[in-house]
């Protein structure tokens, strides 16, 4: 009798285990299937969500100005963001195309001239003598210099074309992401509720709201402290380049912006330009431009403490390390993902330490 009951229980247990395994397998298959369906849109939606979170405070103010008309406010925010992205891109690309055409025409007609190098170039350490020789050859016989360095010019042209194609794809991606961000702003309230519910399921009711709010604040902090500072540096550098009359100022400004975003010193671009300016202008304007460029380079050390981590109970170093580490792993979008992940991890670690200390303090001490 006992053996019969045991056998029945075993069969029932095995049946339930098999049914559970089948259900789990089907759910896993459905999740994987859904993932592959939405995979082409994940990056676009993620960028859209980041943009929406970053501009949400401005959206709320604009909505109140428009009398609470949510759709109109979202549409205006999207149009403003698109204008801020597309207009400079069109101007920059137009300037680059025009300059390239002038360069090509000058090469064909033989009217392109390169100013001779200063004698001080020859005294530069390591590269001065070779640079002076190559520069002098380009000044006296540009065709011979092009033929001599034809392989290097070809590789550089290929890199320029690849960079231009990549920039076009990124521009299109951001246009779509801005449109998605506008759609998300329309449903911002319900979206926040969904994020809070997911966070609550993972971290509890109180922790869910806390961490959901912290994620949004971290994204806005990175947008202000990293992207905002990078834009400020690029604008200041562009003003200096335009005033001093450096050719292709738009391209150098874009390179300064990219370096500032990836947290590299802007002097990598401005340093050679400073040297170039000393060779083509008098001493006083060149010194003023050098001082201006150095101020642009160090401005991030002043601006980041003011903007990065503002409004967060998290050290600025944690946000900055998360942004830089995330960018190394996942590119520009890692600026936000890395900062959010490291901020949440840091906060969980602090809560774990605090709860541990409170538990120790609550233990009665025998006297």
184 in helix, strand or coil? helix
CA–CA gap between residue 123 and residue 132 (Å, rounded): 9
Average pLDDT over every residue of 66-77 = 84
Separation CA 187–CA 42 (nearest Å): 18
What pLDDT is recorded for position 47? Answer: 81
User: What is the model's pTM?
Assistant: 0.65
pLDDT tens digits, one per residue of 140-190 = 766 676 677 677 767 766 776 666 666 667 778 888 888 888 888 887 777
Residue 42 CA from chain centroid, whole number: 17
From CA 160, how far away is CA 168, in angstroms rounded? 12
Q: What is the mean pLDDT of the chain?
A: 77
Lowest mean pLDDT among 73-82, 170-179, 253-262, 303-312: 303-312
pLDDT digits (tens, 9 = 90+) for 338-350: 888 888 888 878 8
Across the range 220-249, mean pLDDT stands at 82
Q: How many Å apart are CA 114 and CA 280, to the nearest integer?
A: 11
Nearest Cα neighbor of 84 from 94, 72, 76, 73 is 76
Give the tens place of pLDDT for each residue, 201-229.
766 665 566 677 777 777 777 777 777 88
């Amino acid at each position: 009798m006992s053996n019969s009951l045991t056998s029945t229980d075993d069969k029932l247990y095995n049946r339930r285990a098999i049914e559970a395994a089948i259900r789990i397998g089907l759910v896993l298959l459905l999740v994987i299937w859904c993932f592959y369906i939405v995979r082409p849109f994940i990056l676009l939606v993620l960028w859209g969500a980041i943009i929406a979170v970053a501009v949400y405070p401005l959206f709320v103010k604009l909505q109140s100005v428009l009398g609470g008309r949510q759709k109109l406010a979202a549409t205006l925010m999207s149009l403003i963001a698109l204008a801020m992205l597309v207009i400079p891109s069109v101007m920059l690309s137009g300037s680059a195309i025009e300059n390239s055409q002038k360069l090509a025409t000058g090469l064909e007609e033989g009217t392109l001239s390169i100013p001779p190098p200063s004698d001080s170039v020859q005294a530069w350490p390591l590269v001065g003598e070779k640079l002076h020789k190559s520069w002098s050859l380009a000044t006296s016989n540009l065709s011979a210099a092009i033929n001599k360095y034809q392989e290097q010019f070809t590789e550089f042209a290929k890199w320029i074309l690849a960079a231009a194609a990549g920039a076009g794809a990124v521009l299109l991606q951001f246009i779509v992401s801005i449109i998605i961000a506008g759609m998300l702003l329309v449903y911002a309230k319900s979206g926040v509720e969904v994020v809070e519910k997911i966070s609550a399921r993972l971290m509890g009711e109180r922790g869910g709201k806390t961490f959901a709010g912290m994620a949004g604040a971290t994204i806005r902090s990175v947008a202000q402290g990293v992207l905002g500072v990078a834009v400020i540096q690029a604008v200041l550098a562009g003003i200096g380049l335009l005033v001093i009359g450096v050719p292709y100022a738009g391209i150098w400004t874009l390179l300064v912006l990219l370096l500032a975003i990836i947290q590299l010193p802007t002097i990598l671009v401005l340093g050679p330009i400073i040297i170039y300016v000393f060779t083509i202008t008098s001493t006083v304007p060149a010194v003023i431009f050098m001082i201006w460029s150095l101020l642009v380079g160090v401005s991030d050390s002043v601006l980041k403490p003011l903007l990065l981590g503002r409004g967060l109970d998290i050290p600025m170093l944690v946000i900055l390390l998360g942004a830089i580490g995330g960018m190394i792993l996942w590119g520009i979008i890692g600026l936000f993902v890395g900062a959010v992940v490291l901020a949440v991890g840091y906060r969980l670690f602090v809560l774990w330490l605090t709860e541990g200390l409170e538990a120790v303090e609550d233990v009665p001490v025998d006297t």
